[in-house]
């Protein structure tokens, strides 16, 4: 991973920020398209497959590598740096937001008890 991130390649290690449905449909994690799948993988899985690195929070140097169909990915207009800030902050930092987002307050136990 260090070699991929810190060598003097002309092409960046991460090419595009995406959302990947993982670990199941309806939940999304930030991922980075790293490359097109190899010819052998494309032959077996289909021609429209990307190699996607899905980092862990808060340590983006570790994570999982997935082969994902392009159609299952949501491509974001975020910079790599923005995505890394979101990952390292645990989601506290969000691109395009200069202040924390107001979250909905959960119902109090008293109000939930009075509904029955």
| Rounded CA separation 15/79 (Å) | 10
Asked whether residue 5 carries a pLDDT value surpassing 60, the answer given is: no
Query: What's residue 47's pLDDT?
Result: 82
- Indicate whether 23 pLDDT > 90: no
Residue 26 inside a domain? The answer is: yes
State the DSSP string of the chain: -HHHHHS--SS-S--EEEEEE-SSTT-EEEEEEEEEPPHHHHHHH-SSEEEEEEEPSS-TTSEEEEEEEGGG-EE----HHHHHHHHHTTTSS-TT-SSPPPPPPPPPHHHHHTT-
Angstrom distance (rounded) from CA 40 to CA 71 = 20
Number of domains in the chain: 1
Domain range for 25 is 2-90
Percent of the chain with pLDDT over 70: 76
Model confidence at 97, pLDDT cuts 50, 70, 90, reads confident
Residue 43: what are its φ and ψ, rounded to 5°? -65, -40
15 within some domain: yes
Q: Which CATH number characterizes residue 43's domain?
A: 2.30.30
- What's the pTM value of the predicted model, to 2 decimals? 0.74
Q: Is residue 96 part of a domain?
A: no
Q: What is the mean pLDDT of residues 92-104?
A: 73
What is the per-residue pLDDT across 28-79, written as a single tens digit (0 to 9) for each?
999 999 999 999 999 999 889 999 999 998 888 899 999 999 999 999 999 9
How high is the pLDDT of residue 31? 96
């Amino acid at each position: 991973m260090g070699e991929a991130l810190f060598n003097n390649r002309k092409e960046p290690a991460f090419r595009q920020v995406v959302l990947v449905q993982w670990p199941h449909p309806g939940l999304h994690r930030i991922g980075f398209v790293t490359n097109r799948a190899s010819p052998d993988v494309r032959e077996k899985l289909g021609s429209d497959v990307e190699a996607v690195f899905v980092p862990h929070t808060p340590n983006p140097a570790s994570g999982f590598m997935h082969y994902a169909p392009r159609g299952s990915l949501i491509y974001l207009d975020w910079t790599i740096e923005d995505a890394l800030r979101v990952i390292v902050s645990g989601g506290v930092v969000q691109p395009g937001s200069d202040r924390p987002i107001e979250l909905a307050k959960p119902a109090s136990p008293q109000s939930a008890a009075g509904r029955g």
